[in-house]
């Protein structure tokens, strides 16, 4: 395999899923609510808040040169208008550990979770959330921007629309299982919560036109702030993008799905430096809407189709945005690490072909570094390149991690 000089090889994470004890966040409250539909609370998670140096060193030792992680808004601003110097100092330590290990940090400023106080204001349908988010981003970038070369404002800005499709189509391209709440074609949580409703104002529950306006304005406001206080930082957002394939008679419906998940966001990202592409599988669209996974298809622990060849197709489609692309998430949940190796091999072959076709792809950040807290599903799904014994927090490197690291090393020497 051959990739460009300076290509980012790494792994992606989210603060709430690995750090542990994110007490001031909306998700922590949701996990501990009466009759919570979460399989279990996040608790200490992977204790990454304490063990980040060990985890970054493991990533670097594998031969990977980039680490995508999120700064947790609820830690930085646990109460409206109060910014924690201790939390900012912690994230400076994380960033400095990356640079000391020769690892390029790709920082996400919002990865699904928000401060509880924001929910009280109306969350992601509150008209002033964009300015609240921009103020948080201003503080982070003013304090830490000197160490942040890449910033993703929002993770999967289109996730509300993805979840709406899931609910509307009873499974959006996956094989439904009655014991499992709806999940996206990614690593994200489902739409359900106690009583079957998402918490009011929660980022993942926002399907309305108002929420679309708030979310896109939050991105553009944050981008403006980042460019003002940290002009060297490249800024973008990430989108959850499936390989949308039309079945006979479903061509128009497939175009509508792609427009809803991608094209509607083009005005908001037109001034960005890059687009983060997050892909896990395909969806097939017929005249009646999204079709279920074929009965004979292999499915992952999350219930969607094992289909790594989707990545190359999605990169070609996303290139129409006219921006450099970074694969900010791609992976699968499985207990069979040999299947993860096969998935990575096939996905990278598709990425390599897209490069050969002239698509400007700058990096591949695998989801995820550690077996982590998988939202409503708890700790059961295994997305990680590294296993975690949660009784001892001991890390065990998997063969898939060595496989990806070996590819990165070979390309670094080419």
pLDDT at 387: 98
C-alpha distances in Å from residue 258, one per residue of 8, 239, 243, 262: 27, 12, 9, 6
pLDDT at 200: 59
pLDDT level of residue 230 (50, 70, 90 thresholds): very high
Cβ-contact 213, 245 below 8 angstroms: no
Whether 411 shows a pLDDT value over 90: the answer reads yes
| Span 132-180, pLDDT tens digits | 999 999 999 999 999 999 999 999 999 999 888 766 654 434 433 323 3
Whether 195 shows a pLDDT value over 60: the answer reads no
Distance (Å, whole) CA 155 – CA 240? 9
pLDDT at 196: 38
Whether 208 shows a pLDDT value over 50: the answer reads yes
174 pairs with which residues across the strands? Answer: 304
Whether 185 shows a pLDDT value over 60: the answer reads no
Name the nearest CA neighbour of 131 among 227, 229, 237, 218: 218
Cβ-contact 373, 27 below 8 angstroms: no
Whether 213 shows a pLDDT value over 90: the answer reads yes
| Span 247-282, pLDDT tens digits | 999 999 999 999 999 999 999 999 999 999 999 999
Mind listing the domains of the chain with CATH numbers?
Answer: 8-413 (3.20.20.80)
Name the nearest CA neighbour of 189 among 377, 382, 14: 377
Is 156 assigned a catalytic role? yes
DSSP secondary structure letters along 36-70: --SSS--TTTT-HHHHHHHHHHHHHHTT--EEEEE
Cβ-contact 71, 105 below 8 angstroms: no
pLDDT level of residue 186 (50, 70, 90 thresholds): low
pLDDT at 2: 82
Instruction: Tell how strand 104-108 and strand 243-246 pair up.
Output: unpaired
Of residues 196 and 47, more confidently modeled: 47
Catalytic residue among 72, 125, 156, 234, which? 156
pTM of the model: 0.94
What is the rounded average pLDDT of the residues 51-71?
Answer: 98
pLDDT at 369: 99
| High-pLDDT (> 90) share of the chain, % | 86
What is the rounded average pLDDT of the residues 277-305?
Answer: 96
Name the nearest CA neighbour of 327 among 262, 278, 372: 278
Name the nearest CA neighbour of 134 among 203, 212, 77: 77
Cβ-contact 240, 162 below 8 angstroms: yes
Cβ-contact 214, 126 below 8 angstroms: yes
Whether 297 shows a pLDDT value over 50: the answer reads yes
Cβ-contact 53, 41 below 8 angstroms: no
Cβ-contact 218, 160 below 8 angstroms: no
Cβ-contact 407, 2 below 8 angstroms: no
pLDDT at 193: 35
| Span 322-365, pLDDT tens digits | 999 999 999 999 999 999 999 999 999 999 999 999 999 999 99
**Angle ∠(14,65,236) on CA atoms, nearest 5:** 50
What is the rounded average pLDDT of the residues 100-109?
Answer: 98
Tally of residues, the chain: 414
pLDDT at 88: 99
pLDDT level of residue 183 (50, 70, 90 thresholds): very low
Helices (H), 114-182: 116-121, 129-144, 159-168
């Amino acid at each position: 395999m051959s990739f460009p000089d300076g290509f980012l090889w790494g792994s992606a994470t989210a603060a709430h899923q690995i750090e542990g004890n994110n007490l001031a966040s909306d998700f922590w409250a949701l996990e501990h609510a009466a009759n919570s539909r979460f399989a279990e609370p996040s608790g200490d998670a992977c204790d990454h808040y304490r063990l980040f140096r060990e985890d970054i060193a493991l990533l670097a030792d594998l031969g990977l040169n980039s680490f995508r992680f999120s700064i947790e808004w609820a830690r930085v601003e646990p109460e409206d208008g109060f910014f924690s110097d201790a939390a900012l100092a912690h994230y400076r330590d994380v960033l400095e550990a990356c640079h000391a290990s020769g690892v390029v940090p790709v920082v996400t400023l919002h990865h699904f979770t928000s401060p509880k106080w924001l929910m009280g204001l109306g969350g992601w349908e509150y008209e002033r959330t964009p300015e609240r988010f921009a103020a948080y981003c201003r503080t982070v970038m003013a304090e830490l921007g000197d160490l942040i070369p890449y910033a993703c404002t929002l993770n999967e800005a289109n996730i509300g629309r993805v979840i709406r499709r899931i609910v509307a189509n009873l499974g959006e391209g996956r094989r439904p299982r009655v014991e499992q709440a709806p999940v996206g074609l990614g690593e994200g949580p489902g739409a359900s919560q106690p009583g079957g409703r998402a918490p009011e104002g929660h980022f993942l529950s926002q399907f309305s036109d108002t929420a679309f306006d708030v979310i896109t304005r939050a991105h553009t406001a944050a981008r403006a702030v980042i460019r003002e206080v940290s002009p060297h930082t490249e800024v973008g957002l990430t989108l959850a993008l499936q390989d949308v394939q039309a079945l006979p008679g479903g061509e128009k419906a497939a175009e509508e799905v792609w427009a809803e998940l991608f094209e509607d966001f083009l005005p908001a990202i037109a001034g960005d430096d890059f687009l983060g592409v997050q892909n896990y599988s395909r969806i097939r669209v017929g005249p009646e809407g999204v079709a279920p996974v074929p009965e004979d298809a292999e499915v992952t622990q999350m219930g969607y189709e094992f289909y790594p060849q989707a990545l190359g197709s999605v990169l070609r489609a996303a290139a129409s945005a006219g921006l450099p692309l970074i694969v900010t998430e791609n992976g699968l949940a499985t207990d069979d690490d040999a299947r993860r190796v096969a998935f990575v091999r096939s996905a990278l072959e598709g990425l390599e072909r897209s490069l050969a076709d002239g698509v400007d792809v700058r990096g591949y950040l695998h989801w995820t570094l550690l077996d982590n807290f998988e939202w409503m599903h708890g700790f059961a799904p295994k997305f990680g390149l590294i296993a975690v014994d949660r009784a001892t927090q001991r890390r065990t490197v998997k063969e898939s991690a060595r496989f990806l690291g070996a590819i990165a090393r070979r390309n670094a020497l080419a």
